[in-house]
């Protein structure tokens, strides 16, 4: 039941890296949780379930731990038992079991008689199945709904803000990577890949990265901002995996291996800096008692360690050199730029769109975290709670510092991490090709791209030291003046706000955001005044939730009402509906297991359905 292979072990290593610092942080956060026993039972159950998922080798055991992971994380979202957490819990429960239906259907199709078989046996069933694309779609919907790919991402901006901060760090940093592990595990079981599969994953990754960063930029809730960035980074991981699948189908094993390594390496990186960001944001929330960034400001003075940890993670997630986030995205760009020899026009268009999406995502991510760090930690305090905030307790600081070490370590020990990932995946061994020397990573393509993270880091540290040395030697005169505010009194209200920072980009993407703008000014005898109590608010509509899910909800309500109506008042039609559904299911099974063509099956279904429907419709009045 539990015989982990190299793929399991590399993701088990990822889980441990994300969990150990989180345990310290949780120990410090625990006094502020009311239902401690309830929280701890589900917290440790959640960790055990994630470990169980990656080390399981039997289908039934895998499904058990997968469902346990879903249920314990659902209960953790409900920890605070607030109106917000209840709404988020309902949304998360529906979405996670929506995906589970597709996962279960996948296993029932390829192994209907033995759900206790191991994963190696599934390869035999999968390779003999007539419609592998159908299995691929089941895997994609089932596992990537848990990972948060667009358009199945809508639960993340609700679940992560509602959960306690250490849980948000675990869910975003670790649980989403467990879903990536499951996707990788069963994609490698479906060995007969088709070119369209990689294009689908590449497209989903590109859209997810763009949508995630655009909605993150418009957020004022700091945890919702980070949740949307999880969508963005899952998109970046999928871009790498999609490239790997495309290159594999084109028999470009060297580029395929490089892309797959980049995807798994970015999974490690996202685990590290996103966990650290949620920890730091949780520390700010712990002190200010609000998630609204508009009330923050000046926290770098009272919370310097938290501010530095947030800055470290923000630089990394923005992919600025020489951080680990930069290195994995550099590998992904090199994979795409190495595809210039491919002549297929559909692939050229796909790669062009992906390069555009990834480049735009990188630029917007920098803007987003300049906003997040600047509004939160710089300037003046915008509220009393922020003004009197102080640093969090030692266990919470230790958790952040340990995760900061993980962030730096994934950059400093890049060759060792890449070698470990390469050996864990069922791909070509390319370590010696990309690391002819330990300190320099080379692109496997002919463009001779190379990067040396430790040399870059050493150069930056040396330049910083020299600037500091020159400053000490010259000792320039310091002149202190009051800030000029065009004649107005300087205060926290004259600072840039989170709304104002994102204003130009929000106006450019109005077609996507479709914002609701609310203005309010104090009136005197029915006339507007210019008093300081004037209010300006912008609320961005969640596009997929409003446009897609509400439409689906309306359609389902209509269908269920129709079924309710005919089941109570039109027995003939109801019987015909049930009979036709049974016929469709039975004939579909013939297609899957008896290799019967869809054309013959469709003809049989139409003939039988018309005959039965005419008979049963005859009793209507």
Q: Which one, of 308, 318, 323, lies nearest residue 409 by Cα?
A: 323
Predicted confidence (pLDDT) per residue in 219-257, tens digit: 888 888 898 889 999 999 999 999 999 998 988 888 889
Write the DSSP assignment of 245-299 as a string of letters.
HHHHHTT-HHHHHHHHHHHHHHHHHHHHHHHHHHHHHHHHHHHHS--BGGG---H
How far, in Å, CA of 268 to CA of 426, rounded? 18
More confidently predicted of 339 and 252 = 252
Q: Which one, of 257, 133, 297, lies nearest residue 201 by Cα?
A: 133
Within-domain flag for 483: yes
Asked if residue 442 and residue 346 are part of one domain, the reply reads yes
**Phi, psi (degrees; rounded to nearest 5) at 150:** -70, 135
How far, in Å, CA of 76 to CA of 93, rounded? 12
The confidence score (pLDDT) of residue 1 equals 57
Cβ contacts of residue 363 below 8 Å, gap of 6+? none
Predicted confidence (pLDDT) per residue in 57-74, tens digit: 888 889 999 999 999 999
Asked if residue 538 and residue 604 are part of one domain, the reply reads no
Within-domain flag for 175: no
The confidence score (pLDDT) of residue 195 equals 86
Q: Which two tokens stand for residue 254?
A: 């060297």
Asked if residue 577 and residue 538 are part of one domain, the reply reads no
Which DSSP letter does residue 549 get? I
Within-domain flag for 456: yes
The confidence score (pLDDT) of residue 621 equals 46
Region of residue 150 (left: phi > 0; alpha: psi -120 to 50; beta: else): beta
Asked if the model's pLDDT at residue 343 lies above 80, the reply is no
- pTM listed for this prediction: 0.86
* Residue 409 pLDDT level (bands cut at 50, 70, 90): very high
Asked if residue 559 and residue 491 are part of one domain, the reply reads no
Average pLDDT of the chain to the nearest whole number: 83
Asked if residue 314 and residue 275 are part of one domain, the reply reads yes
Asked if residue 33 and residue 117 are part of one domain, the reply reads yes
Q: Cis link prior to 46 (omega < 30° from 0)? A: no
User: Among 489, 512, 543, where does a domain finish?
Assistant: 543
How far, in Å, CA of 547 to CA of 538, rounded? 19
Segment 109-135 shows an average pLDDT of 77
* Residue 13 pLDDT level (bands cut at 50, 70, 90): very high
Within-domain flag for 183: no
The confidence score (pLDDT) of residue 130 equals 75
Segment 457-482 shows an average pLDDT of 83
Asked if residue 197 and residue 146 are part of one domain, the reply reads no
The confidence score (pLDDT) of residue 134 equals 85
Asked if residue 496 and residue 353 are part of one domain, the reply reads yes
* Residue 309 pLDDT level (bands cut at 50, 70, 90): very high
Cβ contacts of residue 542 below 8 Å, gap of 6+? 154, 157, 215
Segment 137-145 shows an average pLDDT of 91
Segment 96-108 shows an average pLDDT of 88
Across 376-392, b (16+ Cβ under 10 Å) vs e yields bbbbebbbeebeebebb
Asked if residue 558 and residue 533 are part of one domain, the reply reads no
The confidence score (pLDDT) of residue 603 equals 66
Asked if residue 234 and residue 135 are part of one domain, the reply reads no
How far, in Å, CA of 269 to CA of 398, rounded? 20
Asked whether 223 and 278 are in contact (CB, 8 A), the reply is yes
User: Among 543, 562, 597, where does a domain finish?
Assistant: 543
Asked if the model's pLDDT at residue 522 lies above 60, the reply is no
Asked if the model's pLDDT at residue 190 lies above 60, the reply is yes
**Phi, psi (degrees; rounded to nearest 5) at 386:** -70, -40
The confidence score (pLDDT) of residue 534 equals 52
Within-domain flag for 590: yes
Least confident of 341-355, 454-468, 585-599: 585-599
Asked whether 12 and 65 are in contact (CB, 8 A), the reply is no
Cβ contacts of residue 445 below 8 Å, gap of 6+? 255, 334, 337, 338
User: Is the Cα dihedral 323, 327, 333, 334 positive or negative?
Assistant: positive
Within-domain flag for 173: no
Segment 393-404 shows an average pLDDT of 93
How far, in Å, CA of 166 to CA of 21, rounded? 10
Quote the number of domains for the chain: 4
How far, in Å, CA of 149 to CA of 208, rounded? 6
- Domain of residue 8, residue span: 1-161
Least confident of 98-107, 200-209, 376-385, 462-471: 376-385
Asked if residue 377 and residue 315 are part of one domain, the reply reads yes
Within-domain flag for 166: no
How far, in Å, CA of 590 to CA of 603, rounded? 14
User: Among 108, 142, 161, where does a domain finish?
Assistant: 161
Within-domain flag for 274: yes
Cβ contacts of residue 112 below 8 Å, gap of 6+? none
Asked whether 178 and 11 are in contact (CB, 8 A), the reply is yes
Q: How many CB atoms lie within 10 A of CB 321?
A: 15
Asked if residue 456 and residue 371 are part of one domain, the reply reads yes
């Amino acid at each position: 039941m539990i015989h982990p292979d190299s793929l399991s072990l590399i993701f088990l290593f990822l889980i441990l890296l994300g969990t150990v610092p989180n345990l310290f942080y949780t120990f410090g956060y625990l006094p502020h949780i009311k239902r401690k026993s309830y929280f701890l039972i589900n917290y440790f159950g959640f960790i055990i379930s994630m470990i169980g998922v990656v080390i399981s080798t039997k289908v039934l055991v895998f499904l058990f731990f997968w469902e346990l992971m879903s249920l314990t994380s659902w209960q953790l979202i409900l920890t605070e038992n607030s109106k917000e957490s209840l709404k988020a819990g309902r949304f998360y429960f529906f979405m996670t079991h929506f995906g589970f239906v597709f996962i279960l259907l996948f296993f029932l199709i390829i192994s209907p008689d033995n759900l206790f078989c191991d994963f190696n046996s599934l390869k035999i069933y999968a390779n003999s199945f007539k419609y592998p694309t159908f299995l691929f779609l089941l895997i994609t919907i089932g596992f990537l709904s848990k990972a948060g790919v667009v358009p199945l991402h809508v639960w993340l901006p609700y679940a992560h803000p509602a959960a306690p901060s250490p849980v948000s760090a675990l869910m975003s940093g670790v649980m989403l990577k467990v879903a990536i592990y499951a996707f990788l595990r069963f994609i490698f079981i479906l060995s007969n890949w088709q070119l369209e599969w990689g294009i689908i994953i590449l497209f989903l990754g590109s859209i997810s990265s763009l949508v995630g960063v655009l909605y993150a930029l418009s957020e004022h809730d700091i945890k919702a901002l980070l949740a949307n960035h999880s969508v963005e980074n899952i998109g970046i991981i999928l871009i790498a995996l999609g490239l790997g699948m495309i290159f594999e189908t084109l028999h470009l094993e060297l580029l395929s291996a490089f892309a797959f390594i980049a995807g798994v390496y970015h999974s490690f990186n996202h685990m590290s800096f996103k966990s650290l960001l949620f920890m730091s944001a949780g520390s700010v929330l712990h002190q200010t008692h609000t998630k609204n960034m508009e009330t923050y400001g000046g926290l770098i003075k009272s919370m310097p360690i938290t501010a530095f940890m947030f800055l470290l993670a923000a630089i990394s997630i923005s992919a600025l050199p020489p951080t680990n986030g930069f290195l994995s995205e550099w590998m992904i760009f090199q994979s795409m730029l190495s595809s210039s020899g491919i002549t297929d026009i559909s692939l050229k268009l796909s790669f062009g769109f992906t390069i555009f999406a990834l480049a735009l995502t990188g630029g917007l991510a920098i803007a987003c975290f300049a906003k997040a760090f600047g509004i939160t930690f710089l300037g003046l305090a915008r509220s009393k709670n922020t003004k009197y905030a102080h640093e969090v307790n030692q266990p919470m600081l230790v958790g952040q510092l340990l995760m900061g070490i993980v962030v730096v370590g994934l950059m400093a020990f890049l060759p060792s991490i890449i070698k470990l990932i390469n050996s864990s995946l069922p791909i070509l061994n390319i370590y010696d090709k990309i690391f002819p020397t330990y300190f320099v990573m080379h692109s496997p393509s002919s463009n001779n791209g190379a990067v040396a993270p430790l040399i870059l880091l050493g150069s930056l540290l040396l330049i910083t030291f020299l600037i500091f040395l020159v400053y000490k030697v010259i000792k320039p005169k310091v002149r202190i003046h009051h800030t000029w505010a065009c004649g107005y009194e300087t205060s926290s209200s004259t600072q840039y706000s989170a709304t104002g920072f994102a204003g130009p980009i929000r106006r450019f993407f109005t077609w996507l955001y479709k914002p609701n703008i609310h203005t309010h000014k104090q009136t005197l005898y029915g006339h507007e005044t210019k008093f300081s109590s004037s209010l300006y608010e912008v609320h961005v509509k969640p596009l997929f939730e409003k446009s897609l899910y509400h439409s689906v909800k309306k359609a389902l309500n209509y269908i269920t009402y129709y079924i309710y109506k005919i089941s109570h008042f039109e027995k003939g039609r109801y019987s015909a509906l049930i009979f036709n559904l049974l016929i469709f299911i039975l004939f579909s099974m013939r297609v899957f297991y008896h290799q019967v063509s869809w054309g013959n099956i469709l003809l049989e279904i139409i003939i039988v359905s018309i005959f039965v429907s005419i008979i049963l419709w005859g009793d209507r009045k």
